[in-house]
């Protein structure tokens, strides 16, 4: 008796350790019940980004299938192809390693249809900012190259890989993007490219949590922290470790947050970066509240007085969507040792019209700027969501694709 093939299977390819946070962020808990077809999660982190796994502290999700080699992954995919007639791949892989490029090439024999989510969901400094070439910026670039040759190698390598990726052709690519501005470039080519409006994952998830209650004795404000300098940050991952004075960094941060609590008669809730959820940071003051809830940003931001962020987190867009004042902060160390991040933070602050505060030198009157609701609405529909899909959920959009 010949076994008939089932119709469709959705495969999600992930370049980093796929944790419980990612499962929630991409709404796969909802997709399980709402998608018409089955899906699998392929965690390819040990193949394409083996040295990055240590940065993701949460446990790998139980439904993620981890692969140790491209050969093992191919064998598994061959089995899937025997069972399913139509395979659609939600391709989240970066083009930052030769093995990642090789997987993209091999992917062509398994599927003709690929879904990509390339849109960052926030202003893209490297795409939108047009820096004028002058002696000052040229000097800065030369100094950066001299001080961090590994960073230069990573940059050149990814550029070459992305050029090579342009020669990979699929039949159809569905490109999910947020808002009205496609401020990104697709890595691949196809006979047919279809751009599809999609809510940013954080925005979509927040709307699911908007009516959930949180315990609070007095008004709260949110601080969105980065992984570093206590934990690994993105600069460490490309072997460009910046030697911050961690003790001073967190002493200055704790003093700033406690002072803000007194000024605005509120309780600051620190929300650690998703990479380091459930991990203890010994440098945080015991007087400050910390939330490791995987959906803390979605639950707290709509009910907060204002939002503080040390870097341009995608969650800053949620504060904009909720018309909450935003305070982007930096310190003397960051400005001196990581000028690239400082410039990016300045750019994001300008786009969002937020306060930009050096916690080592500021005036109280500079902390909170008045909210421009008309501007916020423009930002929301430019980077985060679209009026066209106001009455649709992300799983409904996905169902229409597959």
- Condensed to tens digits (0 to 9), the pLDDT of residues 279-306 reads 999 999 999 999 999 999 999 999 999 9
Instruction: Give the Cα separation of 308 and 163 in Å (integer).
Output: 38
Q: What pLDDT does residue 237 have?
A: 64
Which parts of the chain register pLDDT below 70?
1-7, 125-151, 181-185, 211, 213, 216, 235-240, 312
Asked if the 6-199+386-401 domain carries CATH number 3.30.160, the reply is no
Which neighbouring-strand residues pair with 19? 60
**206-382 has which CATH code?**
3.40.50.2000
Return the pLDDT at 1. Answer: 41
Q: Name the pTM for this structure.
A: 0.88
Task: Give the pLDDT of residue 132.
Answer: 45
- Those residues whose C-beta lies under 8 Å from the C-beta of residue 385, and which sit 6 or more positions away, are 178, 179, 197, 199, 200, 203, 321
Identify the pLDDT of residue 245: 96
Q: How confident is the model over 31-52, as pLDDT tens digits?
A: 888 887 788 999 999 999 998 8
Asked if the domains at 6-199+386-401 and 206-382 fall in one CATH topology, the answer is yes
Residue 384: predicted pLDDT? 92
- Return the sign of the alpha-carbon dihedral for residues 301, 304, 310, 316: positive
Q: Give dist(CA 142, CA 187) in Å, integer.
A: 28
Which pLDDT value is given to residue 140? 55
The DSSP bridge partners found for residue 270 are: 223, 290
pLDDT for residue 4 = 46
As a whole number of angstroms, the distance between CA 82 and CA 77 comes to 9
Q: Which two structure tokens, joined as six digits, stand for 292?
A: 């490791």
In the chain, domain spans: 6-199+386-401, 206-382
Q: Other CB atoms closer than 10 Å to residue 47's CB: what's the count?
A: 23
145-203 pLDDT per residue, tens: 556 666 677 778 888 888 888 888 889 999 999 988 666 667 788 889 999 999 999 99
């Amino acid at each position: 008796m010949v076994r008939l093939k089932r119709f469709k299977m959705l495969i999600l390819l992930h370049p980093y350790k796929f944790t419980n946070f990612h499962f929630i962020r991409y709404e796969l808990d909802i997709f399980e019940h709402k998608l018409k077809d089955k899906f699998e999660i392929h965690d390819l982190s040990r193949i394409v980004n083996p040295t990055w796994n240590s940065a993701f502290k949460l446990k790998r999700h139980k439904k993620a299938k981890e692969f140790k080699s491209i050969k093992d992954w191919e064998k598994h995919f061959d089995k899937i192809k025997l069972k399913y007639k139509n395979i659609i791949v939600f391709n989240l892989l970066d083009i930052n390693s030769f093995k990642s490029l090789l997987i993209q090439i091999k992917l062509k024999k398994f599927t003709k249809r690929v879904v990509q989510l390339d849109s960052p969901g926030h202003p893209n400094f490297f795409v939108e900012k047009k820096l004028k070439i002058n002696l000052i910026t040229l000097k800065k670039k030369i100094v950066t190259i001299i001080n961090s040759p590994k960073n230069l190698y990573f940059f050149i390598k990814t550029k070459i890989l992305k050029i090579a990726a342009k020669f990979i052709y699929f039949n159809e690519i569905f490109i999910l993007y947020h808002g009205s501005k496609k401020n990104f470039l697709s890595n691949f080519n196809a006979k047919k490219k279809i751009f599809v409006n999609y809510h940013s994952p954080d925005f979509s998830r927040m709307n699911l949590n908007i009516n959930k209650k949180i315990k609070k004795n007095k008004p709260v404000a949110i601080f969105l922290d980065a992984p570093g300098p206590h934990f690994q940050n993105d600069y460490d991952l490309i072997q460009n470790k910046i030697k911050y004075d961690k003790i001073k960094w967190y002493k200055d941060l704790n003093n700033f947050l406690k002072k803000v609590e007194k000024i605005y008669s509120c309780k600051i809730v620190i929300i650690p970066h998703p990479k380091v959820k459930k991990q203890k940071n010994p440098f945080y003051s015991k007087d400050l509240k910390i939330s490791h809830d995987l959906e803390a940003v979605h639950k707290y931001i709509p009910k907060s007085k204002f939002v503080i962020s040390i870097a341009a987190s995608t969650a800053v867009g949620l504060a904009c969507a909720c018309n909450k004042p935003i305070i982007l902060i930096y310190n003397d160390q960051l400005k001196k040792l990581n000028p690239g991040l400082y410039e990016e933070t300045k750019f994001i602050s300008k786009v969002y019209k937020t306060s930009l505060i050096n916690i080592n030198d500021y005036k109280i009157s500079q902390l909170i700027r008045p909210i421009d609701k008309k501007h916020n609405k423009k930002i929301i529909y430019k980077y985060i969501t679209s009026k066209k899909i106001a009455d649709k959920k992300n799983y409904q959009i996905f169902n229409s694709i597959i």
